[in-house]
Amino acid sequence: MIVIVDYEIGNLAAIANMFNRLGAPCEITANPEKIENAEKLVLPGNGAFDACMHSLRATGLIPLLNDKVLNKKTPLVGICVGAQMLGHSSEEGNEAGLGWMDMKVKRFPALPNLRIPHMGWCHVKNASPAHPLFEELSEDARFYFVHSYFLDPADAEDVLLRATYGVEFAAAVGKDNIVGVQFHPEKSHRFGKQLLAQFAERPS
């Protein structure tokens, strides 16, 4: 069972609907027992970094998630701000992130004719070698983004996908059982569906 962690932030129903269309069993829940028994986890996120971290901490689930992700190596994908929360901190706020990856989150630089937030479709390209979740992405793969801040891992090998908006940035990051995507696969039609299918089908 795929568990979408419910901490009252994020577009949870849209993510669940995509898995349902794929025939992949999933549940939106904050129930510790169900999270403990999850085969895979999705950490959504929407809005401001500090608000997301505050809401997640308020659930009391972080120790359980730490154990599931860091000790039991449960596959996890973080989406949008959920991906940003995987790192240590964000220039958007003052809250500490989960620290599961050696990563900071930075604001897009002020450049002429660069509108912030970055909103809309953007092509991505695989880092080399391709991560198993992205091996089947076609060269025209593109995803839907809405963000003013971007992922900046300390280790370039943790960058899985790259995109460009004024500057080149990490569109997806990952380490071991952890993957974070800055875009919204649940809003990215066939490319997002393909990504979530790969996640659902990948062995735990």
Residues belonging to the active site: 80, 184, 186
Q: In angstroms, how far is CA 1 from the centroid of its own chain?
A: 18
Q: What residues pair up with 27 in beta bridges, in sequence order?
A: 3
Tell me the CA distances in angstroms from 52 to 63, 70, 95, 156, one per residue in order: 16, 20, 9, 26
Name the burial class of residue 68, with classes exposed (0-12), middle (13-18) and buried (19+) by CB atoms within 10 angstroms of its CB.
Answer: buried
Which residues sit opposite 98 in a β-bridge?
none
Tell me the angle at which helices 12-22 and 189-201 cross, rounded to the nearest 10 degrees. 70
Look up residue 139 and give its DSSP letter: T
